[in-house]
Amino acid sequence: MTETQKRSQQVFTLLVEVGRKPGDGLPEGATGAALMCFSSGVDEAEAVRETVAILKQADLAPLDVTGYGTLADREADGHEIDAEERALMDRALAENAVIVAQMTPFFGD
């Protein structure tokens, strides 16, 4: 592959666990959160790096990232992917962006 050839972007589904940080915008009493993200990249490693960088810019504290692969990977694993999720994935690809599709706060006892 020459430098002028571009590797094609794909969208990866990532689950990012975040901890608390001043100004993070998480609900009062939350100990952290899980964020379901769709991130574009030429490979999953790039998608993870971009997602972590964007979340840090948003004053969040990423702790762990679990990758679920591309749309094709998820379909092969039997995941049901609805039209809304597909639309968000298409948007992430079109905009070369990180889309936070869902945020679930964690609350301790």
Answer whether 26's CB lies under 8 Å from 20's CB: yes
Listed by start position, the domains of the chain span 10-107
Prediction pTM value: 0.89
Q: Is the pLDDT of residue 1 over 60?
A: no
Measured distance CA(26)–CA(82) in Å, rounded: 27
pLDDT tens string 46-90: 999 999 999 999 999 999 999 999 999 999 999 999 999 999 999
Distance CA(40)–CA(80), nearest Å, equals 20
Q: Are 32 and 92 in contact (CB under 8 A)?
A: no
For residue range 3-45, what is the model confidence (pLDDT) as tens digits? 444 678 999 999 999 999 999 999 999 999 999 999 999 999 9
How large is the average pLDDT for residues 94-106?
A: 95
* Predicted confidence band of residue 108 (pLDDT cuts 50, 70, 90): confident
Compute CA distances 10 → 30, 48, 76, 99, whole Å: 33, 12, 16, 13
